Each structure stands twice: as C-alpha cells, then as structure tokens.
C-alpha cells in the first residue's frame, strides 16, 4: 500500500498550502493557478486541515438548489 510519505516525495518538496485566515477567493485562486484540487491548511507549523475544490463545488450546488 502506498503511503502519504511516498506521495509527498514524488512532489519533490512542493506542497501547496494556505492558512485558516486566507479568504475563499485566495484558496480558489491558488488551486486554479497550480491546477490542483486540494490544499493543505497550515496553522503555524501544524496541519489544520485540507481544503478541497470539490467541497466548495458541493457547497455551491447545495446553495443553488436551495434558491
């Protein structure tokens, strides 16, 4: 089974991150600029979460259906 460490090694040290206080616009721009689907959210030196493009799209779909 492949490990997270193996995946990160394949990225050659380039893990794209945002901070919890960053705006939704900034996070989406970083995703688009880097042609990726997820960002690691760091608070200081700790991982606070993962931000997924699909999560935003699902939220938007829910809002549109509610209108």
CATH number of the domain encompassing residue 48: 3.10.580.10
- The number of beta carbons lying within 10 Å of the beta carbon of residue 31 is 19
Q: 4 lies in a domain? A: no
Q: Which residues constitute the domain of residue 43?
A: 14-66
Q: What pLDDT score was predicted for residue 63?
A: 78
- pLDDT (tens digit per residue) in 32-61: 999 999 999 999 989 999 999 888 888 878
Lowest-confidence range among 3-7, 20-24, 40-44, 63-67?
Answer: 3-7
Beta bridge partners of 46: 43
Q: Is the pLDDT of residue 28 over 80?
A: yes
What distance, in Å, lies between the first and last C-alpha atoms of the chain? 44
- Indicate yes or no: pTM above 0.75: no
The total number of structural domains in the chain stands at 1
pLDDT: which is higher, 6 or 21:
21
Phi, psi of 41 (to 5 degrees): -100, 115
Q: 5 lies in a domain? A: no
């Amino acid at each position: 089974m492949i490990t997270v460490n193996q995946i990160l090694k394949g990225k050659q040290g380039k893990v794209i991150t945002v901070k919890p206080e960053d705006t939704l616009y900034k996070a989406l721009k970083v995703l688009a600029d880097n042609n990726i689907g997820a960002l690691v959210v760091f608070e200081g030196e700790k991982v606070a979460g993962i931000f997924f493009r699909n999560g935003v799209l699902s939220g938007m779909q829910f809002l549109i259906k509610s209108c």
